[in-house]
Amino acid sequence: MEWMIYLILEHLPRALYALNERGSTIFYNSHFEELFEAKYGLKKADIKKVNIKGVFQIWLHDGSYHEVNLKECHAWTREGCTYCPDFAAEHADISCGGIGKDNDWTLTIVRTELGREIMSRMIADGSVIARPGDSDPAAIDLTDAERSFNWDDVNNFPDVAEDLASFLRRYGWAHVRGVFSTAEIAKFNAEIGQVEADASPDMPGSWWTHDGDGNEQPCQLHYLGLASRVIGALDHDPRVERFVGLSGTDLVSHPDRALGTFAVLKRPTAAEGLTNLPWHIDCGLGGHPLTCPGLHLAVQLTASNPDLGAFKIVPGSHDASVRRSDVEAGRCPVVTADTQTGDVTLHMTHAVHAAPAPLSSSTGRRTMYLGFGPQVPRSPSPRARSALAASGAAFAAIVLLNEELSPRLVLSAGLVLGGIALAVWAKK
């Protein structure tokens, strides 16, 4: 059946209101007493309604409204919710969530015949008040996800910065124009060019491809922050720190893990290798407990558009369960980044994204990614580092030695090798 989408007035009976717990973060009830009441004097009995939209929103029976930073609530997050990406309760008969422009209504998706029967009965007997979901286009239309921001506006106007933060938390990505100057980009390209010139196919920390004539070329260079002081200093650049802070999560730089700071060098004539990536999430090859939640900040070293192999993303997929088959079949919204040199794009590592081949054979794009993730309690031992490096080399060898390897097998091989490496790491 086709989905039925409603907006339900949020004066709901208790039995139904339980459906409104969003999959992104669900809190233990003790946070009402231990945080809201103890710190803010908000008693549970006085609370009329709560919601989560970038902050923890609280309405009281006396008509007052309060907000609590989500960072303060993380200690009360249920453990299972840190691993669950099923934001929309995909397999439920009825899903309810607090998105859209109107805080008095809940977006409700009915997916099954049983759900339709239940919802129709509740509407008929007055248990709920409902209106068509398309009466609030902002709740179900993701065309807004294509807009971009100007760095000068973000830097000078707090309301624009907050708008960017909300946009990033909602869509899992953002595009900010004019962050780095032409001179800065030239300096970054020179540093990467030096690493590229010194690289060889047997060098750890690089991925390689070759063109139709058999000429080998690097397509990714990893751990650039360890090889270049200029690039390493970017982790603490005020602009970078500002972007990371807007993500709403406590993240730190990862210069020595999860590829560190790395460059993607799109090769238009590439015949094999990992220069063109299918739809994926960044922790899809393993390492989720160490790298997530995470953020990738991409410095555009050249312009990027479909002709140059532009970055693509499914907006909102960082907080949802998205099948690759649905994306490939055109059943999910897709945004293609159209950027200029010096721009920055941000994406949450759980977001479904791809790096397709350039459409033009003349040139590709060059992008440098800075990685940020949770604070890891300890660094790996030398033996564990060797195991991780060996797994990466073996993974690259599988790709390079098999010209007909399918993307599915590539991802499967990476998952197995990543799991082995992480097992060794854990024992250290």
Q: Which residue has the higher pLDDT, 56 or 120?
A: 120
Mean pLDDT of 245-256: 85
Domain range summary for the chain, segments of one domain joined by +: 4-140, 143-377, 379-428
pLDDT value of position 97: 67
Flag the least confident range among 70-84, 337-351, 372-386, 402-416.
Answer: 402-416
pLDDT given at position 17: 30
pTM above 0.85, yes or no: no
pLDDT exceeds 50 at position 399 = yes
Among 371, 372, 311, 386, which residue's Cα sits nearest to residue 343? Answer: 311
Q: How far is CA 256 from CA 253, 390, 418, in A?
A: 9, 15, 16
Per-residue pLDDT of 217-249, as tens digits, reads 888 899 999 999 999 999 999 999 999 998 877
Tell me the pLDDT band of 297, cut-offs 50, 70 and 90. Answer: very high
pLDDT of the residue at 116: 85
- Strand-pairing partners, residue 97, are 107
Give the number of other Cβ atoms within 10 Å of residue 90's Cβ.
15
Mean pLDDT of 111-133: 84
Q: Is the pLDDT of residue 353 over 60?
A: yes
> What is the average pLDDT value for the chain, to the nearest integer?
76
* CA 302 to chain centroid: 22
Query: Largest Cα–Cα distance in the chain?
Result: 74
Residue 369 · residue 304 · CB < 8 Å: no
In three-state secondary structure terms, 404 is coil
pLDDT at site 49: 80
* Sheet with strand 312-313: strands edge to edge: 277-280, 353-355, 312-313, 335-336
- Would you state the pLDDT for residue 18? 31
Residue pointed to by tokens 């970054």? 188
pLDDT of residue 258 exceeding 80: no
Which among 369, 156, 374 has a CA at the least distance from the CA of 247?
A: 374
Three-state secondary structure string covering 208-258? EEEECCCCEEEEEECCHHHHCHHHHHHHHCHHHHHHHHHCCCCCEECCCCC
At residue 13 the predicted structure's pLDDT band, cuts being 50, 70 and 90, is: very low
Asked whether the CA dihedral 248, 19, 128, 62 is positive or negative, the reply is negative
Give pLDDT, residue 36: 86
DSSP, res 374: P
CATH of range 143-377; options 3.40.640.10, 3.10.180.10, 3.40.1410.10, 2.60.120.620: 2.60.120.620
Across the beta sheet with 130-132, what order do the strands follow?
94-97, 105-110, 4-9, 130-132
List the single range of 20-24, 67-71, 135-139, 159-163 with lowest mean pLDDT. Answer: 20-24
Q: What pLDDT score does 133 carry? A: 67
Q: Enter the DSSP assignment of 160.
A: H
Residue closest to 85 by CA, chosen among 298, 342, 321, 367: 321
Residue predicted with more confidence, 268 or 147: 147
pLDDT value of residue 56 = 79
Dig out the tokens for 100 from the structure. 């859209």
Taking Cα atoms as reference points, which of 139, 87, 155 lies closest to residue 350?
87
Pick the range with the lowest mean pLDDT from 45-59, 109-123, 251-265, 337-351. Answer: 45-59
| Lowest mean pLDDT segment, chosen from 45-59, 71-85, 162-176 | 71-85
pLDDT of 225 reads: 92
Q: Which of 345, 310, 347 is nearest to 175 (CA)?
A: 345
Of 29-38, 68-77, 397-406, minimum mean pLDDT range? 397-406
Higher pLDDT, 131 or 351: 351
Reported as a single tens digit per residue, the pLDDT across 133-178 is: 666 655 555 557 888 899 999 999 998 999 999 999 888 999 999 9
